[in-house]
Copies of this chain bind each other. A is one copy, B any other.
Amino acid sequence: MEFNDVIIEDTYAEGFPMWVARVIITAVTKEWAHRAATEATGFATSTIGCPCEAGIERFVPPAETPDGRPGFTILICCGKKALKEQVLERVSECVLTAPTTAVFNGRAGSEEVIPIKLHFFGDGYESKLEVDGIQCWSIPIMGGNFIVEEEIGAVKGVAGGNFLIMGDSQMSALVAAETAVGAIRSVPGCITPFPGGVVSSGSKVGSKKYKFMGASTNEKFCPTIREKVIDTEIPENVKAVYEIVIDGVDEASVKAAMKAGVQAACRVPGVIKITAGNYGGSLGPYKFFLKDCI
């Protein structure tokens, strides 16, 4: 298949279930909401080595937030048990501490409800108040009062959406990856948790040479050793590969994100081929076909 003269491999990305909570963070300015959201979603690229996967979903204009202030929604994704701790810790340490912020339930779903009982921080000086019909707590802090809705809904979402961008130069693939991530930002319900949304170092399970390693470089997708790897997946004219990984609140969000991302990547000159990663269906129940992206 082709799209805009780019080869689209007839394959699919394989997704699997992961729990997802959405938190709305508002602040006095867009910039301060963004700073809190950035801190709260850092060190969260992959559950392999980070305590969760997290990212900023989208900007929410003042007219759409509970308190009429600018905000951002973030998604926090991981196993059900770890999720409670991660939502609590990241809100406590990175949002409560940030100037002028308030926190509301982003209503990803109500399959699970995560309590974040921050009002105890108020040491008895806290009080209840209603914001736009929502029951919240107001906690006196140095900067004023911190407003928080204490129950954050969570849903069994979808992780592992992905596609790989192969370029005729490292910079072609890199700019295509950046553009794809930008396009995905306009799709509600999903995030790209890696740095700047892009994965540079794809891995395989285990290692052939170092038995103590749980994962190692996926040599079949490494362009610089193309000639040393018999079963390389790198076409002759490809100099670099970047992967976009997508987590979402449901299958439809991830599907829409893949479509937006693949099409945007194919608009960048020098992109040779798009493919996707799967484990033949052994990893998870969701299949995102590249043929549905074009």
Q: Decide: A123 and B217 in contact? CB cutoff 8 A.
A: yes
Tally A residues with Cβ within 8 Å of B.
Answer: 109
A128 to chain B, nearest CB (A): 15
Q: Decide: B174 and A68 in contact? CB cutoff 8 A.
A: no
Answer whether residue A287 sits at the interface, using C-beta atoms and an 8 A cutoff: no
Distance between Cα atoms of A32 and B123 in the complex (Å): 38
Q: Decide: B140 and A222 in contact? CB cutoff 8 A.
A: yes
Known contacts A97-B200, A222-B141; is-contact A43 B39 (Cβ 8 Å): yes
Distance between Cα atoms of A96 and B202 in the complex (Å): 10
Answer whether residue A11 sits at the interface, using C-beta atoms and an 8 A cutoff: no
Distance between Cα atoms of A144 and B243 in the complex (Å): 13
Contact pick for A240, options B38, B143, B240, CB 8 Å: B143
Answer whether residue A178 sits at the interface, using C-beta atoms and an 8 A cutoff: yes
A230 to chain B, nearest CB (A): 13
Q: Decide: B207 and A120 in contact? CB cutoff 8 A.
A: yes
Known contacts A174-B28, A198-B99, A200-B97; is-contact A142 B218 (Cβ 8 Å): yes
Closest partner residue, chain B, to A218 (CB atom): B142
Binary B-proximity of A7-25 (CB < 8 A = 1, otherwise 0): 0000000000000000000
Q: Decide: B46 and A93 in contact? CB cutoff 8 A.
A: yes
Q: Decide: A123 and B36 in contact? CB cutoff 8 A.
A: no
- A31 proximity list for chain B (CB < 8 A): 31
Which segment, of A106-114, A150-158, A247-255, A262-270, faces chain B? A262-270
Contact pick for A50, options B35, B89, B141, CB 8 Å: B89
Q: Decide: B98 and A140 in contact? CB cutoff 8 A.
A: no
Answer whether residue A79 sits at the interface, using C-beta atoms and an 8 A cutoff: no
Known contacts A169-B168, A178-B29; is-contact A45 B94 (Cβ 8 Å): yes
Closest partner residue, chain B, to A67 (CB atom): B267
Closest partner residue, chain B, to A55 (CB atom): B39
Q: Decide: A170 and B144 in contact? CB cutoff 8 A.
A: yes
Distance between Cα atoms of A29 and B139 in the complex (Å): 29
- A171 proximity list for chain B (CB < 8 A): 28, 167, 169, 171-172, 174-176, 268-270
Distance between Cα atoms of A139 and B207 in the complex (Å): 14
Binary B-proximity of A99-125 (CB < 8 A = 1, otherwise 0): 111000000000000000000111111
* Residues of A bordering B, CB below 8 Å: 4, 28-32, 35-36, 38-46, 48-51, 61-63, 67-70, 89-90, 92-101, 120-125, 139-146, 164, 167-179, 182-183, 186, 194-196, 198-203, 207-210, 212-213, 215-219, 221-225, 228, 239-243, 260, 263-264, 267-270
Q: What are 10 of the A-B contact pairs (CB < 8 Å)? A: A40-B43, A43-B94, A98-B198, A123-B213, A124-B208, A125-B225, A140-B222, A142-B199, A171-B269, A239-B270
